[in-house]
A and B are shown apart, each in its own frame.
Chain A
């Protein structure tokens, strides 16, 4: 079966020679990948034990995955506006030069995600270096958006949560929070039990790890998009009070975010803040400005002035969507006869234009000064 996978990978590698990139980093990555495949092919032998088989298979899986990422990235169908907002947030936390971020449109309606399987994977990359003396200086990360919703800026707030998983993987905040939780005195730990009820009566470390990650990502997103993710989450989970293995209850998640945004004490927020301070001397903080404007009601894009307003546009869009739609008539000073479907399209369109104008103007200003 290993040989089957090998020959499948060979076809993909040969086909990848037709990929055309304007980005030199992707070109260099593909070259390294091709060298890796050659090295794997040369090394393949018969009669492997289970562990060696696992290693070789994992190396080939990486080749497949990387080609899939690079192939999708040659299609120029992605809305640069959303990706640019996310990259701006990412640069607050991650050294972007270590990564090649690619994007892909997916058929799954809820496919808002970052594929970060190979973003930080110490043992895997060490294995490549030891076995074949091949080093990948930059790691591939893929942002996934659902094709059907690729221009839905209201739902794109979910991507800020997904970016949180990338940031978490890079810094291991939730892993450190888990270690911190386990080292706490029982009296201090008990304050966290309402948010991790299974830890009060038992010791489910797997669930604890997952849930800490999810709380972190919710808070990470809230820094940039406020409580907008709560609206989306509360709708798709019907504001559940039940947790799953991988996710805390929606009620608990909303409470943590609401407390953070209001500046109220919350033991989960405190725990995560402590971890951030100890590791990178940073804290979670509000990184957006509330936009107070009637522009959208007057059907014009908002003139974003800085990065805080850039992220704030998502909160503004949601505020307008959740408002009384008669405000459109009021600010236009006549009955514009807009139904909900039209308003949905208008808000998304105006968000896109507002963001697009900001980046185009920024690039123009930068070009003027060079």
Chain B
């Protein structure tokens, strides 16, 4: 293999692309991103456990977002996140070098 891309890397890269589209005003992607962030926030705030979220198809990604941006999730109103908030999230994600360690 010339380049190694773990499944977790791939998940977060796709999520990154959703964020970019949402920041650029694509409502379709905002509608995908917002529920994911809401679930990740409920995990971060301990409103829900991983078991309560276990039926969610995006569970892996939700856990990953919490691991990568825990403090951000605790302070932002994700249901009405601004472009500035999403850009901050994107920076946090891109600053972490190895998602598989999350």
Contacts and interface: CB of A to CB of B under 8 A. Distances in A.
Interface of A: 51-52, 54-55, 58, 117, 120-124, 126-127, 130, 171-172, 175-176, 179-180, 204-206, 209, 278-279
Contact of A117 (B7, B14, B101): B7
B50 interface: yes
Contact of B18 (A117, A123, A171, A206): A123
B59 A172 contact: yes
Interface string B15-54: 1111011000000110010000000000000000011001
A123 B28 contact: no
Nearest to B56: A122
Interface residues of B, number: 27
Query: For B20, B58, B59, B98, which residue has the most chain A Cβ atoms within 10 angstroms?
Result: B59
Counting chain A CB atoms within 10 Å of each CB, the highest count among B20, B58, B98, B101 belongs to B101
A51 B10 contact: no
Contacts of B11: 121-123
Interface string B49-73: 0110010011111010000000000
A55 B17 contact: yes
Interface of A is mostly: helix
Nearest to A205: B101
Interface of B: 7, 10-11, 13-18, 20-21, 28-29, 32, 50-51, 54, 57-61, 63, 98, 100-102
A20 to B, nearest CB: 32
A213 to B, nearest CB: 11
Contact of B100 (A172, A176, A206): A206
B60 to A, nearest CB: 6
Contact of B54 (A58, A117, A123, A278): A278
